[in-house]
Amino acid sequence: MGFQSQVEKAKNLLRTRLCNPNFIIKPLSDSPDSNYCKLKFTISSSITEACNNSILLVGPRGSGKIAVLELALNDLLQEYPDTISLIRLNGLLHSDENCAFKEIAKQLCLEHHLLFSKMGKQRLLYSLLDAMNTVTSQAVVIGVSCRLDVDQLLEKRIRSRFSHRKLLFLPPSKEDVQRLLEHVFSLPTDSSFPHDYAAQFNGKLQNLLADDRFKEIISSYLDLNSTINHLVRFLFIVVSLWESKSGFLSLENFKSALSSIQRQPKQECIKDCSILELYILVCMKRLEVKEQNSYNFNSVMKEYRSVHDSFQTSDYYAWDVCLRSFERLIQRELICFTDNRAHGQSVEFRPVKLLVSYVELQGGLKSYRSCPIILQKLMDH
Amino acid sequence: MPSIAACNSSPHKVMVPVKSEKPSEISPSNAQSTTPQKRKLRSNGPLVQETLVSSLVKRKSPRRCLNSSPISPAIEIEKDSSKQQEKTCEIPPKKLHDNFTGKPSWNPRDIGQISALKEALHVSTAPSVVVCREDEQKRIFDFCKACIEQEKAGSLYVCGCPGTGKSLSMEKVKQHLVDWAKEMGLKCPDMLSMNCTSLANISEIFSKIMGKNLPRKRINGSASPLQHIQNLYSQQQQSSGSNMTLIVADELDYLITKDRGVLHDLFMLTTFPFSRCILIGIANAIDLADRFLPRLQSMNCKPMVVNFRAYSKDQILRILKERLMALPWTVFHPQALELCARKVAAASGDMRKALCVCRSAIEILEGELRESASNLSSSAVENELPHPQTAPACEFFKKQESMIVGIDHMAVALSKAYRSPIVDTIQSLPQHQQMILCAAVKFFRGGKKDTVIGELNKSYIDVCKSTMIPPVGVLEFLSMCQVLNDQGILKLGQCRDDKLRRLNLKIDAADITFALQGVRFFRNCLQ
């Protein structure tokens, strides 16, 4: 097998793994007190003892609730093939109660999203949970929601009939993340892959995982949103940026994936500005820092003049040219008018404000191709 | 351990007789005089024969030390039995001997026992005797009795918090009425009980009543069922001595509409001169009758109100013990039951919750045993040559395992049921989202109630500056606020301009402070 085709095959394998939620959830569900085990135990004990139960799965979006549920249900369907029938309802789709009842009749299954609780009187939930209080029914109701206070949204009658079992899905810890990365990226060393390549790949992977810079990239990414879904998206971009000619994953792939995900559109807009426009932006920032609550083009020009006087810059342009740049900035929405009346006053007299934050402006200046040093100095004072 | 071996002898046979047995039957104790303490166990007929044999074997287990526990058994029995005799009125007196030395301890590894136990504690299992509601049942029963005897119509309103035994008591009263009517030779009333949530259309209630009253009469197309019934009740009955109708409407507040028409008409049915219905409505609100049926007061036929108060700690304890009495083993430590009763009574007095907490405590015990079994088996695999010191230690460890649900299990179950997941979630949020929450706490400390995203962003940037962490851009800030909104921590309003969306905290600032106090970084932030 040629080297390129090996690399292609590895890429395909990694991509397939990242798109399969069951694969991702597996290493996190192995420990005995994981949510997967608890859920499976509760459902299977309800089945074996033929008693009714209700559970609530709560956790932020993308933390793997449905994935764990599917995993548990698949295992249980294999263990008890003929004794379970499954119903799925979705609060977004079946928001009308009649529709939901019809859907139940169609599927004869037992799972629902708690968006139902937004409707008045919550009849469906009440009838479901009330039916479970009779001796003849045998059902397990599993609710999935991303709101923490979902049981406060339920009516008190329904809350009383609900069995208060909650499984909280928390984001994975740092060790779990490391384990997950290893699990996803290690190539199998069996016969499906050429042994040398796989061994080399895994060796480089181990070095990469132990690298501190790598850990920093991952933790800075997870500082924003630490759900598994978010992480998987990042890993997918990493694999897509992995060029075939390099052959192995490297730190650069992760860095470029990070910068492509954490884009700052306004900063990039600033990079496209002309020097005069940058001057105008910096002058506006200085005015704001001086706590001038409302200023217009004339005040900006005054500031621009004073800057020119104190620093003797070479970039001093005429009034008309500046006005033209000013209007271009407004069109690009880097600044905007603060009053809502469009008519009456001309552009020079209407109050304006900045739409980019100081940090973004600073970042934009730093990454500008040939930014005059004076601007950076002006930003700091 | 001898107890495990003995119990495995007949697991499934234990289950079946328990359900069908009536607890008021006290068959003469036969073999019980052989028990060392000469205590009368509540016998369940054939059940006892099998388990007593095994229990005699268990007497030899080294649990005799429990006899000298500070909860001295002898005194407790007398107290219990005297209390029971005071409270029961129509139910024949029973002796409750429920301390846990009198019964053998259960085997949590036996599936049959577990199912029997969970069945006994399940919310859907109606106990054969409903305790702690004798007064209320008596009032309802007397009211219905009077109505039937005098052949007069009447209405009654039963109210109370969820989980206080209203529907359950009504079922018992209905049964009781049927028995009484048979005994007295009176005509048994027709029973119509329905749950108002199951009505497709709220005026359907009248067609149901029609159906009961006049099953063979065809409904004339022009008049509605309500008018039919009203006509019926305004005229003298041709066939005298037709049955009274007992209508029980559960979850009555589903009938409340803006104009309160249906509810009113329903209660007015009892005011007609020749009306034959006894109406009993069940709902949660105490003042439903006052608020929604003011006109009835002027006609002097306001419904009688029976209030089912939330259960007190003693009542919950008694009900739990009653349910567990049917089983021949001890499952719970008495103090664990008391802890559960106290907590639930202090919170809501809802019996369903108490039962759920008990079941969850059992599952915690099961989980513990499974884990220790897997630990022991894995450690047994490791030490192939049992060390002379560790082997008896393992045995000792096995014996020390509690087979009874103790206070620690109950405490864990209670904290799971009552603790909100907020503190855990805040502690596991990513760092920047925690910083947003810190910024929100600081911002709202000044007394403001809500703000816009733009202002919070400024506050967040200040927090970041003070802690030397680079703040994130506005887009990511917005998406993090959206995530917090989805989870129910923040509340975001709608606005075309993203920065002007209104925002306020939905959880208590004290919760955030408590959750983040462990991290010095945030403690300094929040100063």
Query: d(Cα B362, Cα B413) in Å, to the nearest integer?
Result: 9
Query: d(Cα B132, Cα B129) in Å, to the nearest integer?
Result: 10
Taking CB atoms and an 8 Å limit, are A126 and B123 in contact across chains?
A: no
B23 in Cβ contact with B130 (< 8 Å): no
Closest chain B residue to A360, measured at CA:
B473
B373 Cβ contact partners less than 8 Å away, ≥ 6 residues apart: none
B248 forms beta bridges with: B193, B280
Taking CB atoms and an 8 Å limit, are B115 and A156 in contact across chains?
A: no
Residue pairs spanning A and B at CB distance below 8 A: 134
Chain A: give the shortest CA distance to residue B62, in Å: 32
B40 in Cβ contact with B97 (< 8 Å): yes
Average pLDDT of every residue of chain B:
74
Is some CB atom of chain A closer than 8 A to the CB atom of B312?
A: no
**Inter-residue long-range contacts of B399-403, CB under 8 Å, 24+ positions, other chains counted:** B399/B1, B401/B369, B401/B372, B402/B365, B403/B3, B403/B105, B403/B106, B403/B107, B403/B108
Give the pairing of strands A335-337 and A165-168.
unpaired
Q: Which of B9-23, B136-150, B298-312, B465-479 has the lowest mean pLDDT?
A: B9-23
Chain B window 319-378: which residues touch A at a Cβ cutoff of 8 Å?
350, 352-353, 356-357, 359-360, 363, 367, 371, 374
Element at B490 (helix H, strand E)? strand B490-492
Give the pairing of strands B154-160 and A53-58.
unpaired
Query: d(Cα B303, Cα B280) in Å, to the nearest integer?
Result: 9
Taking CB atoms and an 8 Å limit, are A49 and B114 in contact across chains?
A: yes
Element at B513 (helix H, strand E)? helix B509-516
- Region B508-513 average pLDDT: 87
pLDDT tens per residue across span B296-351: 777 777 788 899 999 999 999 999 988 888 888 888 888 999 999 999 999 888 89
Q: Which residues of B touch A135 (CB under 8 A)?
A: 124-126
Instruction: Check pLDDT > 80 for residue B287.
Output: yes
- Region B185-194 average pLDDT: 85
B292 in Cβ contact with B286 (< 8 Å): no
- pLDDT range class, residue B56, cuts 50, 70, 90: very low
User: What whole-number percentage of chain B has pLDDT above 70?
Assistant: 72
Is some CB atom of chain A closer than 8 A to the CB atom of B108?
A: no
Q: Which residues of B touch A171 (CB under 8 A)?
A: 428-430
Nearest to B303 by CA among B154, B438, B202, B185: B154
At position B282, the amino acid (one-letter code) is I
Give the best residue of B425, B437, B499, B521 to mutate against chain A (max A CB count within 10 A).
B425
Chain A: give the shortest CA distance to residue B61, in Å: 30
Nearest to B467 by CA among A288, A223, A301: A223
Query: d(Cα A215, Cα A218) in Å, to the nearest integer?
Result: 5
B54 in Cβ contact with B6 (< 8 Å): yes
The Cβ of residue B234 has, within 10 Å, a number of other Cβ atoms equal to 11
- Region B186-214 average pLDDT: 79
Nearest to A61 by CA among B483, B263, B431: B483
At position B415, the amino acid (one-letter code) is S
Taking CB atoms and an 8 Å limit, are A149 and B123 in contact across chains?
A: no
- Of residues A89 and B2, the one with the higher pLDDT is A89
Chain B: give the shortest CA distance to residue A324, in Å: 26
pLDDT tens per residue across span B418-440: 877 888 888 888 889 999 999 99
Burial class of residue B92 in the structure, from the number of CB atoms within 10 Å of its CB (0-12 exposed, 13-18 middle, 19+ buried): exposed
Query: d(Cα B37, Cα B73) in Å, to the nearest integer?
Result: 10
Taking CB atoms and an 8 Å limit, are B360 and A165 in contact across chains?
A: yes
Query: d(Cα A171, Cα B182) in Å, to the nearest integer?
Result: 64
Classify the complex by whether its ipTM is higher than 0.90, answering yes or no.
no
Give the best residue of A63, A118, A157, A167 to mutate against chain B (max B CB count within 10 A).
A157
Query: d(Cα A183, Cα A228) in Å, to the nearest integer?
Result: 14
Give the best residue of A174, A219, A357 to mutate against chain B (max B CB count within 10 A).
A357
- Region B19-45 average pLDDT: 40
Where is mean pLDDT largest: A149-153, A327-331, B390-394? A327-331
Q: Which residues of A touch B488 (CB under 8 A)?
A: 147-150
Cα diameter, chain B: 94
pLDDT of residue B55: 40
Phi and psi based region of residue A57 (left: phi greater than 0; alpha: psi -120 to 50; beta: remaining) = beta
Taking CB atoms and an 8 Å limit, are B473 and A360 in contact across chains?
A: yes
Closest chain A residue to B436, measured at CA:
A224
Q: Which of B203-217, B318-332, B342-356, B437-451 has the lowest mean pLDDT?
A: B203-217
- Of residues A78 and A135, the one with the higher pLDDT is A78
Instruction: Check pLDDT > 70 for residue A312.
Output: yes
A279 in Cβ contact with A361 (< 8 Å): no
Q: Which of A231-245, B41-55, B175-189 has the lowest mean pLDDT?
A: B41-55
Taking CB atoms and an 8 Å limit, are B430 and A60 in contact across chains?
A: no
Q: Which residues of B touch A367 (CB under 8 A)?
A: none
pLDDT of residue B10: 40
Radius of gyration of chain B (CA): 31
Query: d(Cα B14, Cα B344) in Å, to the nearest integer?
Result: 31
pLDDT tens per residue across span B139-180: 999 999 888 888 888 889 999 988 888 988 998 999 999 999
Taking CB atoms and an 8 Å limit, are A133 and B123 in contact across chains?
A: yes
- pLDDT range class, residue B57, cuts 50, 70, 90: very low
Per the listing, tokens 């959830």 go with A25
Where is mean pLDDT largest: A45-59, A114-128, A313-327, B108-122? A313-327
Whether the full predicted model's pTM is greater than 0.90, yes or no, is no
Describe chain B by its helix, strand, coil percentages, rounded to 5.
55, 10, 35
- pLDDT range class, residue B138, cuts 50, 70, 90: very high
Chain A: give the shortest CA distance to residue B417, in Å: 6
pLDDT of residue B314: 92
B205 Cβ contact partners less than 8 Å away, ≥ 6 residues apart: B194, B196, B199, B249, B255, B262, B266
Helix ranges (DSSP H) in B93-165 = 111-120, 134-150
Closest chain A residue to B115, measured at CA:
A49
pLDDT tens per residue across span A168-204: 888 888 888 888 888 888 888 877 778 888 888 889 8
Taking CB atoms and an 8 Å limit, are B471 and A32 in contact across chains?
A: no
Cα diameter, chain A: 90
Taking CB atoms and an 8 Å limit, are A48 and B111 in contact across chains?
A: yes
Radius of gyration of chain A (CA): 30
- pLDDT range class, residue B77, cuts 50, 70, 90: very low
Closest chain A residue to B360, measured at CA:
A165
Q: Which two tokens stand for residue A223?
A: 């500082």
Chain A: give the shortest CA distance to residue B249, in Å: 15
pLDDT of residue B220: 58
Buried b (16+ CB within 10 A) or exposed e, B396-427: eeeeeeebbbbbebbbbbbebbeeebbeebbe
Q: In this complex, which of A49, A146, A224 lies closest to B115 when CB atoms are compared? A: A49
Chain A: give the shortest CA distance to residue B421, in Å: 7
The upper half-sphere exposure of residue B198, i.e. CA atoms within 13 Å in the direction of its Cβ, equals 10
Q: In this complex, which of B119, B420, B428 lies closest to A170 when CB atoms are compared? A: B428
Chain A: give the shortest CA distance to residue B379, in Å: 16
Buried b (16+ CB within 10 A) or exposed e, B428-439: bbbbbbbbbbbb
Nearest to A168 by CA among A41, A45, A55, A87: A55
Is some CB atom of chain A closer than 8 A to the CB atom of B424?
A: yes
Give the best residue of A38, A44, A45, A49 to mutate against chain B (max B CB count within 10 A).
A49
Phi and psi based region of residue B327 (left: phi greater than 0; alpha: psi -120 to 50; beta: remaining) = beta
Q: Return the ∠ at Cα B213 (arms to B212 and B219), rounded to 5°.
A: 90
Taking CB atoms and an 8 Å limit, are A163 and B473 in contact across chains?
A: no
Q: In this complex, which of B367, B461, B488 lies closest to A148 when CB atoms are compared? A: B488
A166 in Cβ contact with A39 (< 8 Å): no
pLDDT of residue A342: 62
